[in-house]
């Protein structure tokens, strides 16, 4: 039975795409991107849930209670001991699926944020609660943290759950995200390609580069190329994404700070200014034999938002 306090409630949610790892910051660093999925949710009298999907995933993702967004809403309601009411959802998706831009993390965050909005005045879900619920579903916080809070995030696990620190990116940093038109990569497959242990020297190498990358992103963009070197994950995954690896190597040979975006196969280029980004895009067009869509993106600084009882109705 639907909690009478939830009757008639509606929310509108907006969640940014993300790019994680950023080269050396494996499972730790993430950036929010100014590309957004949007979601409208309305409480209904009938139990269960139905989902209408527009855009990316239309005709492909589940439209019932097995949908990841619905499962995330239910997970959040369950965490606070309140039964999920019947729901109607309309998703307008722009974030590519399986391309290393945080689509699953965005879906999870959309559900958690929708639950937060629906439960407003009934349960107060703070930032720690949002991150905890999202991480429980995602398994690691490096994508969900920037999707929730925007900007550059450092995420880590502590005894009392996932933690994060949000930082503001230097205004000179410009992002180029190169998305392949056809190939995808499963995060689970990408993780399965990594060894259980790495050489001590490689671990030290990545610690130094990760620390340097923070300085480069918030203060010294001229250090972006040196700070994006990696020995923990990209080489192990290269054989599964030959086109991605070839593009990363071609860009780095020209001096551009190119890395694999998340689990791939998209490529992220961190540039020190807009002119450098334009030049990097020209290298992509000239060097790749596989069709790539080059997106010149801004960093999202707001993170996910939820508006209870929006003016527009769900349709």
Annotated binding site: 96-106
Query: CA-CA distance, 100 to 97, in Å (whole number)?
Result: 8
Binding region for ATP: 96-106
Beta-bridge partner residues of 45 = none
Query: CA-CA distance, 10 to 13, in Å (whole number)?
Result: 10
Query: CA-CA distance, 282 to 284, in Å (whole number)?
Result: 5
Alpha-carbon 20 to chain mean position = 7
Instruction: Measure Cα distances from 87 to 2, 46, 68, 106 in Å.
Output: 10, 8, 14, 19
Q: Token digits for 17?
A: 């795409």
Q: Residue 113 is inside which H or E element, if any?
A: helix 103-118
Query: CA-CA distance, 124 to 116, in Å (whole number)?
Result: 8
Contact 198, 231 (CB under 8 A): yes
Beta-bridge partner residues of 16 = 36
Q: Which residues contact 35 (CB under 8 A, 6 or more apart)?
A: 16, 17, 94, 95, 101, 295, 297
């Amino acid at each position: 039975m639907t909690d009478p306090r939830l009757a008639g409630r509606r929310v509108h949610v907006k969640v940014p795409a993300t790019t994680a790892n950023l080269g050396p910051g494996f499972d730790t660093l993430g950036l929010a991107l100014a590309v957004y999925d949007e979601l409208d949710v309305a409480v209904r009298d009938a139990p269960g849930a139905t989902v209408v999907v527009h855009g990316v995933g239309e005709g492909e993702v589940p439209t019932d209670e097995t949908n990841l967004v619905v499962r995330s809403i239910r997970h959040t309601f369950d965490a606070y001991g309140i039964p999920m009411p019947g729901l109607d959802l309309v998703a307008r998706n722009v974030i590519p699926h399986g391309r290393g831009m945080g689509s699953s993390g965005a879906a999870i965050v959309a559900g958690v944020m929708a639950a937060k909005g629906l439960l407003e005045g009934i349960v107060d879900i703070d930032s720690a609660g949002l991150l905890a619920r999202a991480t429980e579903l995602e398994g690691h916080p490096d994508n969900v943290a920037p999707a929730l809070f925007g900007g550059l995030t450092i995420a880590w696990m502590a005894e009392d759950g996932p933690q994060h620190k949000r930082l503001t990116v230097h205004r000179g940093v410009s992002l180029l995200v190169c998305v392949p038109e056809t190939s995808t990569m499963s995060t689970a497959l990408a993780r399965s390609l990594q060894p259980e242990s790495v050489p001590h020297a490689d671990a030290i190498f990545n610690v130094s580069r990760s620390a340097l990358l923070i300085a480069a992103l918030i203060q010294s963009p001229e250090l972006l190329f040196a700070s994006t070197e990696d020995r923990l994950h990209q080489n192990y995954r290269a054989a599964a994404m030959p086109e991605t690896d070839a593009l990363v190597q071609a860009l780095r040979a020209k001096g551009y700070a190119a890395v694999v975006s998340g689990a791939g196969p998209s490529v992220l280029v961190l540039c020190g200014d807009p002119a450098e980004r334009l030049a990097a895009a020209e290298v992509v067009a000239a060097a790749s034999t596989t069709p790539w869509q080059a997106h010149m993106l801004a960093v999202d600084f707001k993170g996910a938002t939820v508006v209870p009882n929006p003016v527009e109705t769900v349709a």
